[in-house]
Structure 1
Amino acid sequence: MIILRTILSFLRDKHYRNLLFATITVLVIGTVTYHYLEQWTWLDSLYFSIITLTTVGYGDFSPQTDWGKIFTIIYIVIGVGLILTFINTVYTHFKNIPQDHFHHKN
């Protein structure tokens, strides 16, 4: 229920909404590009996009094609700041919600 409320509050706020859509767009671009350049499944492509942009980088996948490597360089430079801004925004949003909001009794 908290996740649904958070998503709805993000969609109501123009700044959050724009950040959410930009983040989704970057992840979709990465997923589609890796799917076609590296011939990975859709799930593997999404997984790699997320772990790359969150700087986790488990190392279980890496681009093998030259175009995949070039795209990854550009993708990281453009996307890491955006994803980290999104994560920080979500963190700040939850940090600023009063604790009694989470324990609301009906």
Structure 2
Amino acid sequence: MLSFLLTVKRLLSGVIRAFKQDNFRVIFVLILLMLLSGTIFYTAEENLSVLDALFFCVATLSTVGHPTFVPQSDLGKIFTMVYIVVGTGLFLALIAHLAYAIMFQNEEKRDATKVFLHKARRKRSNSDE
């Protein structure tokens, strides 16, 4: 349980760090717009409920897929093809920025630890003299 909580803390710290980057915020807003436009489209064109349409959009963007829904109209199929290509690219870009923020955060902690240990060794060697 402790390792899970530490992982969640690291993820949330990475999200906070990522939100400080302009590119991450832009991609995040674009994904929200994709979810909104997809939800509106599937609600209007394919007669899905708002919750089902949003669920389909999230499942599609995250590349999980929706096993029981296939668009019935030609317009729905064309929209879905474009939605998958554009949305998957945006989602992967978001994940890449988040991963970079987490990795950069880990490197900063590692560097800070090295500096601390180096100072402690210098202090110890100076006190020995």
Is 1:46 aligned with 2:46? no
Structure 1 distance, partners of 2:34, 2:49, is 18
TM-score normalised by L of structure 2? 0.64
Map Cα deviations across residues 18-42 of structure 1 (whole Å, 9 max, x no partner): 1111111111111111111111111
Amino acid of the structure 2 residue aligned with 1:98: N
* 1:48, distance to aligned residue in structure 2 (A): 0.6
Amino acid of the structure 2 residue aligned with 1:53: L
Q: Which has the higher helix share?
A: 2
1:64 aligns with: 72
1:16-31 equivalence runs, <5 A: 16-31=24-39
The range that moved more, 88-97 or 49-58, is 88-97
Gaps of 5+ in 1: 102-106
Q: Identity, % of aligned pairs?
A: 33
Gaps of 5+ in 2: 1-7, 110-129
The structure having more radius of gyration, on CA atoms, is: 2
1:75 aligns with: 83
Map Cα deviations across residues 30-61 of structure 1 (whole Å, 9 max, x no partner): 11111111111111111111111222114122
Count of aligned positions: 101
Amino acid of the structure 1 residue aligned with 2:85: V
**Partner SS, residue 105 of structure 2:** coil
Structure 2 distance, partners of 1:69, 1:11, is 34
1:12 aligns with: 20
The range that moved more, 6-15 or 68-77, is 6-15
Which consecutive segments of 4 or more residues in structure 1 shift more than 6 A?
none
Structure 1 distance, partners of 2:35, 2:82, is 13
TM-score normalised by L of structure 1? 0.76
RMSD of aligned residue pairs (Cα, Å): 2.4
